[in-house]
Amino acid sequence: MARKDVVMLDFKKILVPTDFSAASRQAIPYAREFARLHGGEVVLVHVIEVPHYPTLFEGTAMVVPPLDESLRAELNRQLEDIARTELRERGVRARVVVRDGSPRHELCACARDEGVDLVVIATHGYTGLRHVFLGSTTEQVVREAPCPVLTVRARAEAGA
């Protein structure tokens, strides 16, 4: 007899955000094991933070210079290197995505756009003012992601 209170977890597509820090890379082994267990795929994503320039009058457009395509290509190369060494060479399918904008918003948008089943994101372990300014991306993703989010607390030796 099937129980109604049992939730079936089937994580076929797993999103892992990275800012290339040692702390953020600690989420990868968790995602790798979930993907291996469920025959899934890991999507590594990096968001290029585009500066926000407030305008004097609401509704006016501020022209932001276009991102340097060589920067995008280099970030994509770095993501591909991580995908190869941490995932593909260990038998897990992986793709990479580079997006522009606010990390808080773009990570949730990417999760929706990609149709992911799980986000695995590292926390940097910041407290106080460092948390207010640097550690709130994970918190925002936990609140707004369209799917479950697994947070991985960074170990001290990873620079947390």
For the residues of 94-152, what is the DSSP string, one character each?
EEEEEEEE-HHHHHHHHHHHHT-SEEEEEE----HHHHHHHSHHHHHHHHH-SS-EEEE
Q: What is the mean pLDDT of residues 79-91?
A: 97
Q: Is there a contact between 48 and 17 (Cβ–Cβ < 8 Å)?
A: no
Task: Please give the model's pTM, rounded to 2 decimal places.
Answer: 0.80
pLDDT at position 160 is 42
State which fold the 13-21+34-50+65-154 domain adopts. Rossmann fold (3.40.50)
* pLDDT higher than threshold 50 for residue 68: yes
Query: Can you tell me the distance from the alpha carbon of 107 to that of 135, in angstroms, rounded to the nearest whole number?
Result: 14
Q: What is the mean pLDDT of residues 47-60?
A: 67
Lowest pLDDT segment from 50-54, 91-95, 137-141: 50-54
Tokens matching residue 133:
């300014």
Tokens matching residue 111:
């999760």
